[in-house]
Structure 1
Amino acid sequence: MTTKTVLVAGATGLVGYAALKQFGGDPDCTVIALSRRRPPGFDGRHIPLDLTDGEACAAASATLRDVTHLVYAALFELPGLVDGWRDREQIDTNDRMLRNLLTPLMWHAAGLRHVTLLQGTKAYGVHVRPLAVPAREGRSEMREQPNFYWAQEDFLRGAQRGRDWSFTILRPVLIVGEAIGGAMNLIPALGVYAAVMKERGPVLPYPGGAARVSQAVDADLLARAIAWAGEAPAARNETFNVTNGDVFTWPNVWSAIAEACGMRPGPAEPFSLRAITSAEWERIRQRHALASPPLAEFVGLSMEYADYQMRFGQREPGRPAIVSTIKIMQAGFHDVIDTETMFRTWFSLFQRKRLLPPA
């Protein structure tokens, strides 16, 4: 007898797929995946759904009466990625997607207890200005910057008012984990780059620009935070930053990334990962008999995201992008992981699954 039913919206993305694995391993939990494509390896109930279709969302919600927890990890991004973060179409579409799903769901699912909503450091304006270090929940938000976070959050708070269910907003930093074709997953992007460079020799040059002190979060750690937030009284109607617990710069973790790909770290050689061609990746796929798809399907918009994160073309050191995690630790969530260990773990998994060439 399960005690809760978790609906994961955006189940093929970085966060959604990690959440599927997290809740799928809980014997007291029934998991339902909601996404356009079936998540790889998932044999549970899957609802193929376009969240921009309001009528389809209403019809699907009528079949979800048992849902007790919603993990909303769905995301719409425009081509070009970073430029789209301030685009009105991107903001309006993400706002509409949440409304389309939650509005009918909260009427049909009488036992709904909790909603988890994902934001990120764009809440602090990291994409348009240096952060106030450390950025803190409730004190450092950039509400004046148009952002779909604010549209979704305002709707969520209004929808929850007077109802029994609660919500938690989580703000992860750079997320690293397992997803194929996502907009912001660095493992496929960096793995493809390493594979192309390995054709030329054993040294992996650092392709980015001048360093900036940053943070990351392991997708599985974030999934554990989602599971905690869905049950913890201290997380009720609260917002929390989530990180691995340490800080890093790309040049300083480059040795771990190179070694995970079976290479030696090399000096900085600025290179846009967007310059890698489908033909280069296709030759590597064929040579190693990989299970991964063609380049565009494998990396999605992640090459653009890698260039942005590693500050390609930037010659001056960046201002630190650090958030405080004091609030979530004081509330009771204490998981941490070393960021170098995180990178090694995910490259190893992609290699074992023959999505990337062996190290």
Structure 2
Amino acid sequence: MTSNSPIIPSTVENRGIYCGLPKFSPLITGRKAIVFGANGISGNYMLRALSQTPERWEHVAALSRRPHTASQGIGKNVEHIQVDLLQEPEEIAKILRHHELQPDVVFFFAYIQPPPADDNLWSNAEELTRSQGKLLQNCLDALQLASIRPKRFLLQTGAKYYGVHLGPVHSPAVESDPRVLIEPNFYYVQEDMLSQYCRQNGVQWNVVRPAVILGAVEGSAMNSVYALAVYAAVQKHKGEKLVWPGDAWGWEKEVTHSSAMLNSYLSEYVVLNEHAGNEAFNASDGSPFTYGRLWAQLAKWHGLEFTYPDDDSTGLHELTLQHKPPRGFGKPPTIRFNFTFFEWAQRPENQQAWKELTQKHNLIGNPFGPNELEKTFEYLDFAVLPPHAFTMNLAKGRKFGWYGFVDTIESHRQVIEELVALNMVPPL
């Protein structure tokens, strides 16, 4: 069967807000997995997905550098193991051997954020490439030293593969799009590392590429929903409106989002699909979305009035990106805004409002802290303010039998409710 042939599951099902999920054969049982980077948003939701069917996944080793944090929906089939992927591979291998791990599947979500070179989260491209490459290479070396050879290895990369962080790209993005060589990109290094490892060891690989990821996990700073919920809570506490910071282009642009739970269901599906080996897949909600549509709902959930983009854009600040668009034509885009979320978060009155909310609701975490403020709110600026659209083509996944879908606005609401349950933001 070729990759162009349709592979259709016999039935699909809905789970809560997630629709069109595949129903697997009951004969698929007793599988074992390792999840690297289990404490981040993606790794944590992968654990949740695998916890839902312990008869299918009898043992899941959740590996992370930090101790296990509070979470929802983690099953008894999950074993938490503390591992630092910056250790020497032999030290990692010792831990893997000690726990006698022999997985059928390895899921890799590990990530570290080095300090940026300037005011852009991903400006230090060379250091990002070096650090993320080391994480994966240490993992692959440790697997070989521990004599572990999974049947499938899944690596999550992301939309930066297409260069969306550098400006307008060909949209909708297709998995076969050429690489963008404006600057180093650690996703390319990681995919090449994985391909070489799999060729040498007789392992099949998968890559999934989500866009802006929606999820609720304690201690994860680059989280657009968390930052939006904090912004709305502070505006409500001050008795002010939910003010739109950008222009009409940012309000109306269509932009793909990728809910962490749906990404995890997709990841499970492709590693269990015998026809999907050695393939990359876009991971998306499949739901058309604009921030303008979300803005009114976000205000409603918090009991706020909201503002639209200003009719007069002459007084807006302007920032023109430095690179030629990754799509290969046109001028670099200009971002126009009244204020950035990063600048808003530095205002003393907003930091004081959060302190008062923290005391009132006994909240955990501080998105305004010196180590978190930039990562939290600059990431939100990256998601909300640029004027150019970004969407993903999901045709390839459909051809392989994947029909998962979630309404992105409903997903925002559910994630905020999860953040409330984690005591990270005030109740709605």
Structure 2 contact 244–306 (Cα < 8 Å) conserved: yes
Q: What are the Cα deviations for residues 51-72 of structure 1, in whole angstroms up to 9, with x where unaligned?
A: 1112432322323532221110
**1:56 matches 2:91:** yes
Equivalent of residue 261 in structure 2, options 188, 213, 220: 220
User: Relative to 1, partners in 2 of residues 1:83 and 1:287: Cα closer, same or farther, differing over 3 Å?
Assistant: closer
Q: What are the Cα deviations for residues 135-177 of structure 1, in whole angstroms up to 9, with x where unaligned?
A: 1111343256411111111111111115342111001111111
User: Relative to 1, partners in 2 of residues 1:101 and 1:348: Cα closer, same or farther, differing over 3 Å?
Assistant: same
User: Relative to 1, partners in 2 of residues 1:187 and 1:109: Cα closer, same or farther, differing over 3 Å?
Assistant: farther
**How far 1:235 sits from its partner (Å)?**
1.8
**How far 1:350 sits from its partner (Å)?**
1.8
* SS state at 2:196 partner: helix
| Alignment map for 1:93-104 (pairs within 5 Å) | 93-104=131-142
Q: Supply the distance in 1 between the matched residues of 2:226 and 2:265 (Cα, whole angstroms).
A: 23
**1:35 matches 2:76:** no
User: Relative to 1, partners in 2 of residues 1:109 and 1:56: Cα closer, same or farther, differing over 3 Å?
Assistant: same
Q: In structure 1, what is the equivalent of residue 46 of structure 2?
A: 19
Residue identity in the other structure for 2:111:
L
Structure 1: give runs of 5+ residues left out of the alignment: none
Q: Supply the distance in 2 between the matched residues of 1:107 and 1:324 (Cα, whole angstroms).
A: 39
The percent identity for this pair of structures is 27
Q: In structure 1, what is the equivalent of residue 220 of structure 2?
A: 182
Equivalent of residue 136 in structure 1, options 165, 171, 174: 174
Structure 2 contact 345–373 (Cα < 8 Å) conserved: no
| Alignment map for 1:141-152 (pairs within 5 Å) | 141-143=179-181, 145-152=183-190
Q: In structure 2, what is the equivalent of residue 271 of structure 1?
A: 339
Structure 2: give runs of 5+ residues left out of the alignment: 1-27, 311-337
User: Relative to 1, partners in 2 of residues 1:187 and 1:299: Cα closer, same or farther, differing over 3 Å?
Assistant: farther
Q: Supply the distance in 2 between the matched residues of 1:298 and 1:356 (Cα, whole angstroms).
A: 15
| Alignment map for 1:56-135 (pairs within 5 Å) | 56-63=91-98, 64-80=100-116, 82-110=120-148, 112-135=150-173
Structure 2 contact 206–271 (Cα < 8 Å) conserved: yes
Q: Supply the distance in 2 between the matched residues of 1:32 and 1:117 (Cα, whole angstroms).
A: 16
* SS state at 2:164 partner: coil
Q: What are the Cα deviations for residues 200-250 of structure 1, in whole angstroms up to 9, with x where unaligned?
A: 226311234431321101110001011111101232000111111122221
Q: In structure 2, what is the equivalent of residue 47 of structure 1?
A: 81
Q: In structure 2, what is the equivalent of residue 251 of structure 1?
A: 292
Aligned residues: 353
Q: Supply the distance in 1 between the matched residues of 2:80 and 2:234 (Cα, whole angstroms).
A: 36
User: Relative to 1, partners in 2 of residues 1:144 and 1:198: Cα closer, same or farther, differing over 3 Å?
Assistant: closer
The answer to which structure has the higher helix fraction is 1
Q: Supply the distance in 1 between the matched residues of 2:365 and 2:377 (Cα, whole angstroms).
A: 15
Equivalent of residue 397 in structure 2, options 315, 324, 328: 328
Structure 1 contact 17–178 (Cα < 8 Å) conserved: no
Q: Which has the larger radius of gyration?
A: 2
User: Relative to 1, partners in 2 of residues 1:179 and 1:207: Cα closer, same or farther, differing over 3 Å?
Assistant: farther
Structure 1 contact 260–347 (Cα < 8 Å) conserved: no
Structure 1 contact 181–298 (Cα < 8 Å) conserved: no
* SS state at 2:106 partner: strand
**How far 1:130 sits from its partner (Å)?**
1.3
Tell me how large the CA RMSD over aligned residues is: 2.4
**How far 1:258 sits from its partner (Å)?**
1.9
* SS state at 2:174 partner: coil
Residue identity in the other structure for 1:52:
L
Q: What are the Cα deviations for residues 2-46 of structure 1, in whole angstroms up to 9, with x where unaligned?
A: 612211111111100100111122212111111122132457422
Equivalent of residue 192 in structure 2, options 136, 141, 154: 154
Structure 1 contact 86–147 (Cα < 8 Å) conserved: no
* SS state at 2:275 partner: helix
Residue identity in the other structure for 2:126:
R
Q: Supply the distance in 2 between the matched residues of 1:241 and 1:174 (Cα, whole angstroms).
A: 12
